[in-house]
Amino acid sequence: MNKPNPNPEPAVNTPKIVISADIGGSETKAIAQIYPSGVPIVLAMPPEIADVSKTSVARFVPNSYNTSIWVGMGDEYYVLGALAKSVFAGTSALRDLKSHYALPKLAALLWLACRQFQFDTNNIDAFIQVLMPPGEISNAHNLGKKLGQSLNRGIVTPTNKLKGKLRNFHVAPEGSGIMIYRSRTLAASYTQKNIGLLMLGYRNASFVLSQKGNPALAETTDLGMNWLVQQFVQRTAVGLSKEDEHLVTAIIAAGKGNFEPLRSLSRQATPEGVSADLKLFQNILPEVRSDYCRALVRWIRNIPSLDEILICGGTADFVKKELTDHFQNEGIPIVWNGGVQFPAPLDTKGLGERVADVWTAHITYILMLDKNFAYDRKQDLVPDPNKPRLSTPISGLAQLREYAKKREAEQPLNS
């Protein structure tokens, strides 16, 4: 299951779908494309999930497939996204490992991709890459076997059964896409530097160290945005709920100087009470933010000296000033998002830098598939209509092609 079947290649008439997925704590994000020549698209799904009975989902039809998402595998049925939260009290399951609910989330992404590409779901060839925190890699290896078995039997969806073959399942560490991208940008000097990669997500934070081109350290901690949100709810103690979908956006807005969204969080019944809550929020948030940054610094302070640090993830922008001040004081240059620029034409979900890692991981995965199938790719994944054969820095494909060939011997197409 770890390698595509080279003998024979899947039938020409069978749609080949490639998906690279990042099962984030605030949103499940993925890049999907028809292989080999399709232009990639972004898939996004809220993180909430709920296990339900078969009869519970029968009344939900697929006329609004972006909100009515559910899958059935054997006797297990799961509702995902907005439907899970609004109807079934689903949660984002932040205390569980990402691998715990990865199977139904990957199945749902496959179904969403089929709907977007208008494919018949009865016969597909799937190539799946999933990003996991460094500390959960070993937990994810059985996912491929389970997903392949489910596809063979047929996954129940709001439309038809989703059936096909899982031709490849690849597990990659979070941050690997950005690190490979940066290594190609630096060329020979990459093997002369100690480079740290700090990834700040909603569920957790991860740190990876490349020591002169060799993996030296990979750690994961619970210090994601969720830690800050929990602290804010506990310290304000005015009845806020960390499950409130408006809480994170209000905190982020306040971090940029707009405190009005915090006002709407108040549950007080009088204007005076609301004003008192707002003043409390304005006092508590800087304290929580400072403590969060201090905790991050304590976590990574004992690492060897760095020549540079790459910082990425949706939470990074919220504490950008504090992190910038710290690493400037330490004399360590910061490269935000590893220098990756996500192609603007693909940013249909407005996720921006939040998909930098899964985007660069997807590029690397496609190049590995190209190598396996001996496909001579003539243009970038996101073609420039004015220069159809010119590789551009935006896609990163040209920068990575030679690197992928160089590393193919030491990083074969497996997990």
Tell me the pLDDT tens digit for each residue of 86-100: 889 888 887 888 888
pTM of the model: 0.85
pLDDT score for 8: 41
Q: Helix %, strand %, coil % for the chain, to 5?
A: 45, 20, 35
pLDDT score for 155: 96
List, for residues 247-281, the tens digit of each pLDDT value.
Answer: 988 998 888 889 899 998 999 999 999 999 999 99
pLDDT score for 66: 57
CA-nearest of 382, 402, 401 to 392 is 382
Distance of CA 209 to the CA centre of its chain: 20
- Tell me how far apart the alpha carbons of residues 111 and 109 are, in angstroms, rounded to a whole number: 5
Q: Is the Cβ–Cβ distance between 200 and 182 less than 8 Å?
A: no
pLDDT score for 386: 53
Q: What is the DSSP secondary-structure string of 292-355? A: HHHHHHHHHTTSPP-SEEEEESTTTTTTHHHHHHHHHHTT--EEEGGG----GGG-TTS-GGGG
pLDDT score for 24: 83
Query: Given strand 41-45, what is the order of strands in its sheet?
Result: 41-45, 28-34, 16-23, 124-132, 164-173
pLDDT score for 6: 42
pLDDT less than 70: residues of the chain: 1-12, 61-67, 303-304, 383-415
Query: Token pair of 47, please?
Result: 């993180």
The values of phi and psi at residue 21, to 5°, are: -120, 140
Query: Token pair of 168, please?
Result: 């490849």
Query: Token pair of 10, please?
Result: 């899947």
Q: Which residues, other chains included, contact 138 with Cβ-Cβ below 8 Å and sequence gap of 6+?
A: none
- Tell me how far apart the alpha carbons of residues 310 and 391 are, in angstroms, rounded to a whole number: 24
Mean pLDDT of the chain: 85
Query: Token pair of 251, please?
Result: 């905190």
Instruction: Decide the pairing of beta strands 124-132 and 16-23.
Output: parallel
Task: Report DSSP state, residue 35.
Answer: T
